[in-house]
Amino acid sequence: MKNSGEKIFGKLTDLQGRCIHYSSELDIIANRCAVCQKLYACYKCHDEEEDHKFSAVSEDEKKTVMCGACGRFFSYREYSSLCQCPGCKSSFNPRCALHKNIYSCQS
């Protein structure tokens, strides 16, 4: 659990949201699935644990991306313009942008 009180789901390796699929120091983002509304460490964890595929949210929908270090929430659009959390200053993995088509749909 983070300061937000929301749990990060997935095959976690630590409490900041790193998982067995993505576990670098920078992999601290959890994304919300539009179908089940759960925050997952990654789409692979989601798809292995749920009975549906990860479904993207609108880029402007609030509280869809969470910093695993401090629990601060962002819309996907806001998150995608950041290289670190404005709250706790933890750095984000720039390679997460490679998965934009999975985590966000155009508004």
DSSP code string of 21-67: S--STT--EEEE-TTT--EES-HHHHHHHSSS----EETT-SS-EEE
Q: How far is CA 52 from CA 48, 81, 84, in A?
A: 9, 29, 31
Answer whether 79's CB lies under 8 Å from 91's CB: no
* pLDDT tens digit sequence for 14-48: 999 999 999 999 999 999 999 999 999 999 999 99
Q: Report residue 66 as tokens.
A: 């969470």
Q: For 50-103, how does the pLDDT look when each residue is reduced to its tens digit (9 = 90+)?
A: 999 999 999 999 999 999 999 999 999 999 999 999 999 999 999 988 888 888
Give the separation between CA 24 and CA 20, rounded to whole angstroms. 10
